[in-house]
């Protein structure tokens, strides 16, 4: 993974919104449903632990782990704070590695996420128009630290750090929270064994990571 010296900063929603609008158009997503999901998440969240997430990142090295096949060979490269994208969290957990935070839209969540959360892992729950039933099912079950995110306009206690897929959202959050350095392991943005929608999402992840100075 090559890292350029310069990157784009997304310090507020107005910086992010042009990217978001292009994503909506590309996938024919419904912005109103995204906003509905964000409001629901705001209502469901029993607490806001963004200060804990901030402490994990600010002025520290953050490693973001994806769930690609190469994760097993790269996991020993991790440094500093470890954040995992969705299913990568359980894959690490069964090997005795508990991530400090997990970024998830809940489509890969299992009871292992509840265990990690009870032990202190921050679950960064993402709301979008397609996961409203999952929000209703899973959010009330988490007893540990929680942070809510959205890809639409942020609300009180529901943040928008930028990013689109679980993995690149974690990278965006690390940058937004001013990590000293961000390294990426277990990402495969060239995976051909996926459906066309997933392929489009990987394409967008690459574009967005490039804006932050990460070339994968």
Please indicate, yes or no, if residue 18 is contained in any of the structural domains: no
C-beta of residue 144 within 8 angstroms of C-beta of residue 99: no
Please indicate, yes or no, if residue 49 is contained in any of the structural domains: yes
C-beta of residue 143 within 8 angstroms of C-beta of residue 117: yes
pLDDT of residue 123: 98
Please indicate, yes or no, if residue 12 is contained in any of the structural domains: no
User: Residue ranges of the chain with pLDDT lower than 70?
Assistant: 1-11
Please indicate, yes or no, if residue 1 is contained in any of the structural domains: no
* Cβ atoms < 10 Å from Cβ of 99: 25
The three-point CA angle 190-194-198 to 5° equals 85
Write the pLDDT tens digit of every residue in 91-127.
999 999 999 999 999 999 999 999 999 999 999 999 9
Facing residues of 181 across strands? 61
Domain count, the chain: 1
3-class DSSP assignment, residue 83: strand
Please indicate, yes or no, if residue 37 is contained in any of the structural domains: yes
Supply φ then ψ for residue 21, to 5 degrees.
-65, -40
| Rounded (to 5) percent helix, strand, coil in the chain | 45, 20, 40
Q: How many residues does the chain have?
A: 216
Please indicate, yes or no, if residue 190 is contained in any of the structural domains: yes
Residue 202, domain extent: 32-211
* Beta-carbon-side half-sphere exposure of residue 180 (alpha carbons within 13 Å): 8
Please indicate, yes or no, if residue 160 is contained in any of the structural domains: yes
Please indicate, yes or no, if residue 21 is contained in any of the structural domains: no
């Amino acid at each position: 993974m090559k890292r350029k010296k310069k990157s784009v900063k997304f310090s507020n929603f107005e910086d992010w919104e042009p990217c978001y609008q292009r994503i909506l158009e590309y996938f024919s997503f419904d912005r109103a449903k995204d906003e509905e999901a964000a409001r629901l998440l705001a209502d469901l969240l029993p607490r806001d632990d963004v200060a804990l997430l901030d402490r994990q990142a600010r002025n520290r090295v953050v490693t973001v782990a994806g769930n690609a096949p190469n994760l097993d060979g790269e996991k020993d490269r991790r440094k500093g704070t470890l954040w995992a994208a969705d299913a990568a969290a359980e894959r690490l957990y069964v090997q005795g590695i508990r991530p400090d935070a997990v970024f998830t839209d809940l489509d890969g969540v299992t009871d292992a996420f509840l265990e990690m959360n009870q032990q202190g892992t921050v679950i960064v729950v993402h709301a979008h128009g397609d996961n409203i039933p999952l929000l209703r099912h899973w959010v009330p079950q988490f007893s540990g630290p929680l942070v809510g995110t959205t890809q639409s306009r942020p609300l009180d206690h529901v943040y928008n750090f930028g990013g689109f897929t679980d993995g690149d959202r974690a990278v965006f959050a690390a940058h937004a929270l001013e990590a000293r350095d961000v390294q990426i392991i277990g990402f495969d943005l060239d995976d051909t064994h996926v459906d066309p929608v997933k392929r489009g999402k990987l394409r967008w992840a690459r574009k967005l990571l490039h804006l932050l100075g990460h070339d994968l």
